[in-house]
Structure 1
Amino acid sequence: MSDSNATDFTNPSTFILLSIPGLEAAHVWISIPFCTMYAIAVLGNFTILFIVKMEPSLHGPMHYFRCMLAVTSLVLTTSTLPKMLSIFWFNSREIDFRVCLTQIYFIHCFLEMESGILVAMALDLYMAFCPPTNHVVSKIGLAVMLHGCIVILPLLILVRQLPYCRTNIIPHPYCTHIAMVNLGCTDTRISSYYGLFVLFCVIGVDVIFITVSYIQILMAIFSLPTKDAQFKTLGTCVSHLFVILAFYIPGFFNSIMYRFGQNVPLHFHVFIAKVYLLMPPTLNPIIYGVRTKEIQGRLLRLFTHEGA
């Protein structure tokens, strides 16, 4: 379907994705950092999954959570990056409506899962500093994953029922809930309000739990007997907090800008959205993998063929 007849239809079977407005001539160059980040995310997260599976000493709650985080990162990047790169390289902008809905579900569902896993990891870290450790945390991981699937289903149902008669052009390199809502030619307040509910009530509660957990963790750190122990433990927590902030801050601004930032340039919308989906999956294997001594040691033995 061409752009010229994009406004003469009702409920189209395909939609047109856009890349970065005004920078079409630089698509190949822009694709290089995104392709690099995708490769790092895929290689790094698969490495974490492989090492945890092969090393029995890593079969514990925190490492299981890291594996869950790796899986969510792989799904998030793989559900968006291949299509984005095909737009950059081949100008392949069409996407089937059903494929678009599937992409929306995977993106938002696994973002919810990642948020829940970060909560579970913060809780598990808190319990490690404040014994006794409760192994029910592993069950929390399963609960937050199911929670993500259930919470996102109404978003998909509401988007599926919207009539589309304005345009089939999505000003974005992948399908998102609010982008589709903005294309609806009827009252979309219910969809928009539910999206805000997910953002503030669901994600917001996750942020509160993480904040309370890390306040308790920091209090426990500063009660350690030596400055060296405090400094070493604080360094680990700061790196974890960096990943958490890289996940929540771009996501918050991305959702708010789509609803209330009509005067924000479109290319800035696109940039924030890409950072939101790419940065955490790229950072996760570095912060939670390479910087973890147990994983470092197993990775070193893997490459030096020692003690396998």
Structure 2
Amino acid sequence: MAKALRQVKENVKQVDIVLELVDARLPESSRNPQLVEILQNKPSIMVLTKADLADSQITHRWVNYYEGKKQPAIAVNSQKGDLHTLEQKIYTVLKDKLETQRKRGIVHKRIKAMCIGIPNVGKSTLLNQLLKRRAAQVGNRPGITKAQQWLKAGENLLLLDTPGILWPKFEDPLVGKKLALTGAIKDTLYAKDDVALYMLEHFITDAPKKLQERYKLENQDLEESLPELLLLITQKIGMRDDYDRASERMILDCRRGKLGRYTLDQVPQDS
């Protein structure tokens, strides 16, 4: 991790703009504070990936929130390839710089952009759509991209891919649970039942009907304590008392959209 951070710090000086990828389901919780610190005054765009998995209204509010703080932001569903808007956004953010270069007679300079983010945030999928080919490995688990690599996206855009980097310690344990639920942390590094209990708490508060439909729960079931509810769901999905395996199933259901769209980070009230 230290080596990857050093490389990012060195390369940020070489690029024109940074694409900071965050998960639309948890935009703030999926920002690596170490990477944010490295960016400093470099032009950047906050790219909210996996927008197709998040609550669209809340995603819209997040984009407005960042834009209101003078941080360019855009939400993308990279699976559908709606990335022309992202390319336009890059040129908009760099408009003044490009105009200055044009006046100096520099008209064919390629834009260099660096993609950064945490593991499994969707960088490889996004890059492959921008490049119109499978240039980067894609997988639904953290740690697929292992090295930094320059990739050509059209005649005027060069992209520097970087490995996903997770910071070593979460000040707020809740952030760790959110990252685990969405697949940013390796499955061997957290207690599945703890994450499943957090998932239940979130859906009971925000979308109880989705929970009831998926696991055939009655209204009174939601009044049980979280551990009792987890055990009840374990039995309902045919795993008797193996709540660890049931927790794994529930986490996968959540990641795969079986409970519909959801957003774990709420936009600050002052926005």
TM-score, with structure 1 as normaliser:
0.23
Larger strand proportion of the pair = 2
Larger helix proportion of the pair = 1
* Higher relative contact order (CA closer than 8 Å, sequence separation 6+): 1
TM-score, with structure 2 as normaliser:
0.25
